[in-house]
Structure 1
Amino acid sequence: MVVIDFYKLPRAIQDGVIEAFRGRFAPAPIVSRLGTRRTIVAWLAVSVAAGLLLAALCAAGFGDVDSPVALHPTAAAAAYVLLAATTAIGVVQALAYNAELVSLPFAPACSSSPRT
């Protein structure tokens, strides 16, 4: 397989390739399906899971003076920080991945055509 840098091609060829990927001009893909966005769903799932664990940690011993978590030991404080950071990072990563997909000049998809 020969790897060609898309951005080193002349502008006319770049435009032709992009239009071909969109299916407007030949060679149009014979079979095409939109790419999945599992990465975004995975990051959001991590974020939601961390948020739920953070809520459970906050609720543990909430309002109970005799609870060992009431004095916020070092391990509990570290867990608060880790879970809060994981929640925030998950959302930021999902948004960053979505921004990366939107910036592509064509819709991400899987296509196949017969080999000649």
Structure 2
Amino acid sequence: MGEVPEPHTGWTFLTNHARVLAAIADDHHARVRDIAAHCRLTERAVQKIIVDLEEAGYLSHRREGRGNTYRIQPAKVLRHPAEAGLTVAALLALLVRDEADRGREPA
């Protein structure tokens, strides 16, 4: 998952659900512990968010050994009426860095 970001106070543009989904999109084999550290959430909060995303059909998982492999449903439409027609894939295109961009310094 890379470096853990510094803590932040105040409001932000993204919900915790969006952060967790983006972290999973970045690494489909990520452990709950790693997602929690990356998103600055508790492991329990991440587990609940994953359950929410699975129950709503945005995410599924398959057990592999002692870990999970997550599968995101990219064609699933976002829930809020203001985002009518916007898919998970479109959201993740904004949030997840392309492999080619990894390691490069932000502009």
TM range (shorter): under 0.3
TM-score, normalising length: structure 1: 0.22
TM-score, normalising length: structure 2: 0.23
When you count helix as a share of all residues, which structure comes out higher? 1
When you count strand as a share of all residues, which structure comes out higher? 2
Relative contact order, higher structure (CA 8 A, sep 6+): 1
